[in-house]
């Protein structure tokens, strides 16, 4: 599998404005867009996998990138939902890049099974551990993953940049970028302007689970920025964001770790000034009150969306009902997705709960 180690400096005009660190990155993965027709926008589908994660990006160039794949089992529930969105909703004939944020079941539950339903061109992960005591079934599961990837999955590390297909070159159309910010507990260099929220950090107990090793990826299209951090936890968020902010401002933020309060350190979520958040929670997992309140107080925030109503919280604490995709418990859930759609110039984006009218938001000028 192509793993192109030609040195490339992230200090290009786009990343200068985002304060990304000065060091050589590895550009990984050849751009192999399937060439299926697209609407020329960057579409991001947050697929409901009942408290796991599965996020499908379809770029203007027709490239499809799936980050995480929900839970296994449940009669193929999450697998079917991913395949429905990829094929029927987004019109994809293949997944070009399938990324595993970390080795927990709610994130790579269907990577192996996917290949029997839709071709997957390339796999990326944080590197496969030799042993993984957290999951007694890991050996069996990882064997299936290795088989599906034909032992060619590409390990990602902080500073790597994914090579993406860019479509037709139009001078006014900004370039889409995807940069890895964290992975295996490491972070990009802490360069950039001082983070005014750094002093708000207080340490939480060390997280020895794989959550702390999650891959975080920052996508940018002109001024637009989308950040997804898997299940990254509190102290690693601090490590990334203190004392300086190497990320910059983020318009669309996938709330980390299903919106649990062992993640979403204010040092990170306040510093990135999100305009819109989407929480990939389940009826009884994530969407925590403390996180909702931390986000609601951020001056830049225009709207919070959730895949599920948290059935354990009063409605008044949660986003309004039209911004919650699924209100019932898992047994009756219809699995509606939330879709973001970014204009080709990266200046506006819409958020649509499946079956409802989209809402439009302005991207913040960087």
If the CB atoms of residues 231 and 352 are measured against Zn ion, the closer one turns out to be: 231
If the CB atoms of residues 106 and 223 are measured against Zn ion, the closer one turns out to be: 106
**Which residues are near Zn ion by CB under 5 A?**
106, 231
Asked whether the beta carbons of 18 and 161 are under 8 A apart, the reply is no
Among candidate residues 126, 131, 134, the one with its CA nearest the CA of residue 154: 126
Distance from C-alpha of 161 to C-alpha of 101, rounded to nearest angstrom = 15
Distance from C-alpha of 233 to C-alpha of 219, rounded to nearest angstrom = 20
The helix/strand/coil state of 97 is strand
Report in angstroms how near the CB of residue 103 gets to Zn ion at its nearest: 11
**Tokens representing residue 111 in the block:** 């990577």
Q: DSSP labels for 250-265?
A: -SEEEEGGGG-TTS--
Report in angstroms how near the CB of residue 339 gets to Zn ion at its nearest: 21
Report in angstroms how near the CB of residue 203 gets to Zn ion at its nearest: 22
Report in angstroms how near the CB of residue 269 gets to Zn ion at its nearest: 17
If the CB atoms of residues 231 and 343 are measured against Zn ion, the closer one turns out to be: 231
If the CB atoms of residues 10 and 280 are measured against Zn ion, the closer one turns out to be: 280
State the Cα torsion 202-204-210-214 to the nearest 10°.
-20
Report in angstroms how near the CB of residue 107 gets to Zn ion at its nearest: 6
If the CB atoms of residues 68 and 343 are measured against Zn ion, the closer one turns out to be: 68
If the CB atoms of residues 106 and 251 are measured against Zn ion, the closer one turns out to be: 106
Q: How far is CA 193 from CA 73, 75, 190, 364, in A?
A: 45, 49, 9, 17
Q: How far is CA 44 from CA 282, 289, 353, in A?
A: 19, 25, 12
Report in angstroms how near the CB of residue 321 gets to Zn ion at its nearest: 25
């Amino acid at each position: 599998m192509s793993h192109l180690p030609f040195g490339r400096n992230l200090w290009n005009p786009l990343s200068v404005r985002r304060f990304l660190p000065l060091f050589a990155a590895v550009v990984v993965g050849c751009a192999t867009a399937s060439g299926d027709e697209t609407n020329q926008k960057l579409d991001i589908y947050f697929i409901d996998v009942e408290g796991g994660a599965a996020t499908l990006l379809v770029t203007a160039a027709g490239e499809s990138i799936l980050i995480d794949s929900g839970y296994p089992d449940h009669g193929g529930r999450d697998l079917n939902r991913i395949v429905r969105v990829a094929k029927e909703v987004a019109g994809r004939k293949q997944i070009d890049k399938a990324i595993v944020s970390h080795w927990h079941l709610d994130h790579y539950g269907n990577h192996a099974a996917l290949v029997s339903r839709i071709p997957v061109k390339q796999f990326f992960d944080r590197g496969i551990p030799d042993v993984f005591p957290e999951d007694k079934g890991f050996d069996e599961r990882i064997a299936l993953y290795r088989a599906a990837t034909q032992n060619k999955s590409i390990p990602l590390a902080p500073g790597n940049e994914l090579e993406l297909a860019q479509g037709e070159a139009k001078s006014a159309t900004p370039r889409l970028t995807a940069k890895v910010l964290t992975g295996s507990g490491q972070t990009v260099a802490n360069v950039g302007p001082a983070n005014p929220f750094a002093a708000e950090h207080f340490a939480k107990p060390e997280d020895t689970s794989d959550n702390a090793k999650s891959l975080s990826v920052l996508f940018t299209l002109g001024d637009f920025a989308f950040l997804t951090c898997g299940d990254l936890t509190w102290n690693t968020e601090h490590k990334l964001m203190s004392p300086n902010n190497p990320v910059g401002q983020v318009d669309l933020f996938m709330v980390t770790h299903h919106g649990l309060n062992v993640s979403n350190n204010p040092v990170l979520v306040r510093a990135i000034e999100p305009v819109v958040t989407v929480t990939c929670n389940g009826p009884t997992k994530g969407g925590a009150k403390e996180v909702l309140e931390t986000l609601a107080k951020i001056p830049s925030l225009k709207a919070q969306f959730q895949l599920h109503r948290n059935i354990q919280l009063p409605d008044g604490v949660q986003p309004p009902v039209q911004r919650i995709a699924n209100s019932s418990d898992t047994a009756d859930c219809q699995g509606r997705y939330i879709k973001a759609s970014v204009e080709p110039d990266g200046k506006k984006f819409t958020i649509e709960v499946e079956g409802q009218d989209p809402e439009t938001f302005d991207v913040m000028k960087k």
